[in-house]
Structure 1
């Protein structure tokens, strides 16, 4: 039972962080939004993770796809971790 609770917490954490990444992307659309308290807080939480994808240069014109790729990688890693944990206990 404790393993299922851990898996649930991992999934909830990934959902919350994915939501933060979406908020980070939306804040870039509004001038001055990233300079607010909320913008700085979200940036401090998201930029270290998103910096991992900066080397890939995922830009098309003025649009960066780092956030989308970051969400996909995060969800794939979470799913893989869940499968590994479930295979170990089953």
Structure 2
């Protein structure tokens, strides 16, 4: 059971850091358009687009990734609670 928790935790942490890197890459010219930036964008953009539909940018600042990261942490904790109840 602890192996399952570890695998899920690692998966969520990797996804968290991918989103974080993707957001930071928007501040560095050309990084998001690089092959790594495009690959990460394909992974994280479907999740981020959910939040962008409901949270408009404030001026030039897009806060939807912050909400997405917080939601990701809540999803992870909720999944752990459900797994504890099941297993």
Q: Does TM, scored on the shorter chain, surpass 0.5?
A: yes
Give 2:3's aligned residue: 5
Q: Work out the CA distance in 2 between the residues paired with 1:38 and 1:8.
A: 26
Unaligned runs of 5+ in 1: none
Note the alpha carbon deviations across 1:11-43, whole angstroms, 9 max, x for none. Answer: 111100000000000110011111111111111
| TM-score (norm: length of structure 1) | 0.89
Structure number with higher strand proportion? 1
Report which of the two has the higher share of helix: 1
Deviation digits for residues 40-87 of structure 1 (CA, Å, limit 9, x no counterpart): 111111101111111112422111012111111111011011011112
Structure 2 unaligned regions, length at least 5: none
Where in structure 2 are the equivalents of 1:29-68 lying within 5 Å? 29-68=27-66
Q: Return the alpha-carbon distance in structure 1 between the equivalents of residues 29 and 86 of structure 2.
A: 48
**TM-score, scaled relative to structure 2:** 0.91
Structure 2 equivalent of residue 23 of structure 1? 21
4+ residue stretches of structure 1 with deviation over 3 A? none
Counterpart-to-counterpart distance in 1, 2:85 and 2:56: 34
